[in-house]
Amino acid sequence: MAIFLQLLFTGLGIGAIYALVALGFVLLIRAASVVNFAQGQFAMVGAYILVVGVNVLELPYLLSMAIAVVLMAVFGIVFAATTYWPLRHRGGLPVIISTIGASIFLENIVLFLYGPSPEVLPGLFDSPGIQIGEVFMDSQYLSILVAATLLVVLQYLIFEKTLLGKKLQATSQDKEMASLLGIPVAFMILFTFAYSAMLGGIAGMLVAPVLFVSVGMGGLIALKAFAANIIGGYGSIPGAILGGLSLGVAETLGASYISVPYKDAFAFAMLLMFLMVRPQGLFGEKISEKA
């Protein structure tokens, strides 16, 4: 039982990372109908900015994080302007391919600048963690969970309680109507890209001390987040969170009780199972085209 609880804690920690990246995915799907294959590279770029701040410039940890978050927002806008904007009227596929191009570009430009050897980042706190009952709570996993919870609450408040949030929701539901009501749709979409890049970047920074920081770190995270998005329900915000958490738990439990080498297979097996049995996911709705 103790082991189970310990695994549950770790699983939720890693699941929170998937959830944050998945959230970035979902927001872009909703606001701009973009399936962004470079979402994982957002996490990688965020982690590298933090590496520069903490290890190279030797700035305080939290200040580095703050700077990195701002830079990620700028990065998100540049990303949108180059990868999405010129293709926005051409349907889903060209944008997908161009985000794939962007992911190749980002990984290799960072590889060029920083080399292949992984970077090590210290944790946010010096203390290794706290023991509660039989569960040892690693401080970094704890910070991931706390930060993810704060972000989700913050996002809920922004989306549900502010005018900006309402405009964002209106944009995601019906761009034409939103535009007719005087909502600056283009601005809303750029804002979503910036926010989505921030979320991805924060996920990367939080997970950086747990994993090594390497150019390839984003790819697998993004695929899991993608799976989380389907398991939760395509385009659903609560679905992305729940999907991410359950994936994290499932693969942690699977790895320790069933098989370590196939750890990464659990996420995808779970995804396949959902697609076959409950394709609309946990929170999804069935959408049919109107004749």
Partner 1 sequence: MSVNLASARLWRGVPQAIAAIIAVVALAFVVPADGYYLNILMQAVTYAIAVSGLVVVLGYCGQISIAQAAFFGLGAYGVAIGMVDFHLGFFPAWLCGIGVAGILGLILGLGSLRLGGHYLAMVTISFQQILTLFLTNWLSFTHGPDGIRDIPRPSLGPISFAGGHAFLALCMVTLVIVTLAVWRLKTGRLGRAMQAVRDNELAASTCGIDVFGTKVIAFGLSAVLGGIGGGLFAGGFQYISPDQFSFGESIVLLTMALLGGVQSPFGSLVGTLVLIILPEWLRFLKQIYLAVYGAAVILIMVFLPDGLWGLMLDRVRKRAKPILGEVEKLPLLTQTGQESAEIVLEVKELAKHFGGLKALDGISLKVRRGSVHALIGPNGSGKSTFINVITGLYKPTAGQVLFAGQDITHEQPHLRNRAGLARTFQNIRVWRGMTVLENVMVGGERPGNDVAEDAALVVERALAALDFVGLRGDAHRMVGDLSYGHQRYVEIARALAATPKTLLLDEPAAGLNLTEKHELGELLRRLKGHGLTILIIDHDMKLVEQVADHITVLNFGRRIADGLPREVLNHPDVIAAYLGEPQEAAGVVA
Q: Which of 60, 122, 184, 279 binds partner 1 (CB under 8 A)?
A: 279
105 binds partner 1 (CB under 8 A): yes
Residue 11's closest CA among 235, 274, 19, 284?
19
Q: How far is the CB of 86 from partner 1 (least distance, A)?
A: 5
Site string for partner 1, 53-92 (x = CB under 8 A): -----------------------------xx--xx--x-x
Per CB under 8 A, does 96 bind partner 1? yes
How many positions of this chain bind partner 1 (CB under 8 A)?
A: 44
Q: How far is the CB of 45 from partner 1 (least distance, A)?
A: 13
Report the residue number, 149 or 259, with the smaller CB distance to partner 1: 259
Residue with smaller CB distance to partner 1, 63 or 111: 111
Of residues 93 and 146, the one with the C-beta less far from partner 1:
93
Residue number, 58 or 112, with CB nearest to partner 1: 112
- DSSP secondary structure string for all residues of the chain: -HHHHHHHHHHHHHHHHHHHHHHHHHHHHHHH----TTHHHHHHHHHHHHHIIIIIS---HHHHHHHHHHHHHHHHHHHIIIIIGGGTTS-HHHHHHHHHHHHHHHHHHHHHHH-SSPB----SSSS-EEEETTEEEEHHHHHHHHHHHHHHHHHHHHHHHSHHHHHHHHHHH-HHHHHHTT--HHHHHHHHHHHHHHHHHHHHHHHTTTS-B-TTHHHHHHHHHHHHHHHH-TT-HHHHHHHHHHHHHHHHHHHHHT-STTHHHHHHHHHHHHHHH-TTTTT--------
- Binding part of the chain for partner 1, among 8-16, 17-25, 193-201, 267-275 by CB under 8 A, reads 267-275
List binders of partner 1 among 215-234 (CB under 8 A): 219, 223, 226-227, 230, 234
Query: Could you tell me the smallest distance in angstroms from the CB atom of residue 227 to partner 1?
Result: 7
Q: Which residues contact 50 (CB under 8 A, 6 or more apart)?
A: 64, 65, 68, 121, 204, 205, 208, 213
Is 26 a binding residue for partner 1 by CB under 8 A? The answer is no
258 lies in the binding site for partner 1 (CB under 8 A): no
**Least Cβ distance, residue 289 to partner 1 (angstroms):** 6
Q: Is 112 in the site for partner 1 (CB under 8 A)?
A: yes
Binding site for partner 1 (CB under 8 A): 35, 82-83, 86-87, 90, 92-94, 96-98, 100-109, 111-112, 219, 223, 226-227, 230, 234, 261-262, 264-265, 268-269, 271-272, 275-276, 279, 287, 289, 291
